[in-house]
Structure formats: structure tokens, C-alpha cells
Amino acid sequence: MIPKTSLPRFTRSAVYLRTYSTKMGPVPLAYHLHPAPIPSAAKNDSPLIVMHGLFGSRQNNHSISKALAKDLNRPVYTLDLRNHGESPHTPYHNYEVMAEDVEHFLQENKLGPKTVLIGHSMSPPPPQLHFNSTLTPTRGAKTAMAVALRKPSIISSIIAVDNAPIEAALHSSFGGYVRAMRKIEHSNLTNTKEADAILAEVEPDVAIRQFLLRNLVRSDSGRLGFRIPVGTLARELDNMSAFAYHPDEVRFEKRALFVRGTQSPYVPDEAVPIIGRFFPLFRLKDIDAGHWVISEKPNEFKEAVIEFLNEEE
């Protein structure tokens, strides 16, 4: 359970006015930089960009990013994608606009073509995946894949964690999460146990409930709300199943690492040939874990990333 004192406070200017944007085009992303221990090292121009998944934030990747910066001696940036964390809220939420945000971030921070993108879905996996001829992927690491396919010249490689470029319609549990989160916001709650009880009506897993409740903030009056725009994300859930690419039309002809949790259904064997069509130079790394590969097996994940990146040198 989230302690009451740990909840961040929000004000009208800090959340509703500062973060809400209706403009077209990219939005500036909030981020945290874990600098390379030795700034003068040659690897300093080979940054890593780490991205969270739906309902997550850059805080989810703090520990692994800090460890990678130290062990690789590279700067590591953890991002809050739009409508998440401290980044701006907009009415638009799909992989095209999220990829555009990341491309803008690279340009604004003068990060060169040696940049590596790491993306992971933080969502609980659906019971089964559905394939069709359109090969439409959803969620998490898909933002990294979209950047790679849109602008391959601006990065050197990608690392996709437990996701594949296949169609996987959002499980019905997501609709339940959204309804419960909206109920929490409309109930004028002041106690996190009450918020957890509402989520428990749709999600029995305590870890998933705690993950969702990390988005809670407390107003000056003590009322609980979510720092993410729940209504926008609810409306855009269908767009999270849309992906504008087909492997016969566009490919990423650079190195890619796909890390698969062997106890997770997100990257079934049937998806491997499809990965190869989009990313012909890909490598698959299996780790004995569920969907939450990074948190379940952080050392194994870190070793896989280090091995993959060291091979580029």
C-alpha cells in the first residue's frame, strides 16, 4: 500500500494548466539523466533512452537505468512519455505522436545517431494474443519500434523488452482499470486504502494495483486524484492498437535486441518470424521471467543489455 505521506501534491497551475496542451506536434518530455561516471569517456556520445509503458513513468526504470549508466559508462535518460508522469497532457495518444515526441527529445538534447532506445511495456499481459495480416502491435516498446521504423538514421539500435510487432488487442482488464480509476477520482477520497479497495473490485493482484496507484496525487485539500489524464487515456485505448507500418514497406536495417520473458505470452514463438521481417538484424534473448522482466530479473536483463551493446564496439 502507498503510504499517505508519500503521495505527491498537486496544484491547479502545476498540473491542470502547466501540463495540458492542445497543440499539434511534439511535446517536451520530462526526463531524468543518469550521467556517465567518467564524462570524458568516448562512450559519452552513445546515450541510452529508457521508456516506460502504459500507466507508468520514468520512476519505474530508475534503478536499472542508474546501474546501466554505471556499468556501461554511458549517459542514460529515463523519459516520461506524454500523458504520463510529469510530461504534458494532450488529447492525442498513439504511437505516431509518441514517436514524434521522442524524436523531438533527441533533437532538442543534441543526442546523435549512436543513441540506443530501450522500451518496455509495464502492462499486465492479456491471456492470449491475436495475429492477423495487418501485423498491428500495441503498447510499451512499440514507441521505440515506431521511432526505429520512422527515423532509422537518428538511432543506432533498439532494445524491446517483452513485446513484439504483432496485433494484441488491449485486454478487457484495461477498461476495468480505467472505470475504477475514474470512480476513485469522482469519489472525493482522501484515503489510499479506499482507493485500493475500488481497484480491488477489478484487479485481485496487489502488485498491479500498487503499480496503478503510483499515479495518485493529493490536492491541497487532501483529495486524491490521478496525475495522468484518465479520461484521455480511456478514449485513446483503441488507438493503442493502431500501428502505421507493414514489414513489406518499412524495415529497421540496424541491430535490435528483443528480450523475452519465457513465462510471459507477449512474444510467442509465432511472433519471431514477424519480428525478423520488421527487424532483420534482430537478436532474441530469453530470460526465465514473466512479463515484468526488468524487475523480476534485473541482473540478467542488465547482462543481456551490456552484452548486446558491447558487441557494437
Q: Which residues is 23 bridged to in the sheet?
A: none
pTM score, whole prediction: 0.85
Residue owning grid cell 507493414 = 246
What are the grid coordinates assigned to 18, written together? 502547466
DSSP code of residue 15 = I
Q: What is the pLDDT of residue 138?
A: 39
**Per-residue pLDDT, 131:** 36
Residues of the chain with pLDDT under 70: 1-23, 40-44, 121-140, 167-172, 238-239, 241-243, 313
Return the closest-CA partner of residue 289 out of 261, 311, 259, 248: 261
User: What pLDDT score was predicted for residue 171?
Assistant: 54
Q: What is the pLDDT of residue 128?
A: 38
Q: Which of 240, 251, 250 is nearest to 137 (CA)?
A: 240
Is 248 strand, coil or helix? coil
Measure the CA angle with vertex 212, ends 76 and 176; round to 5°: 135
Fold of 11-170+237-310: Rossmann fold (3.40.50)
DSSP 39: T
Helices of type H across the chain: 62-72, 95-108, 142-150, 172-186, 192-200, 206-213, 230-236, 272-278, 293-296, 298-310
Grid cell for residue 69: 549508466
Among residues 56, 76, 30, 44, the alpha carbon closest in space to that of 208 is found at 56
CA dist., res. 246 & res. 269, Å (int): 19
> Mind listing the pLDDT tens digit for each residue in 178-218?
899 999 999 999 999 999 999 999 999 898 899 899 999 99
* Integer angstrom CA distances of residue 114 from 126, 160, 241: 34, 17, 30
pLDDT at 139: 52
The single-letter DSSP state of residue 17 is I
- What's the confidence (pLDDT) of residue 207? 86
Catalytic residues: 121, 291
- Output the CA torsion sign for 158, 163, 164, 166: negative
Name the one residue in this structure whose C-alpha cell is 570524458: 40
Domain edges within the chain: 11-170+237-310, 172-226
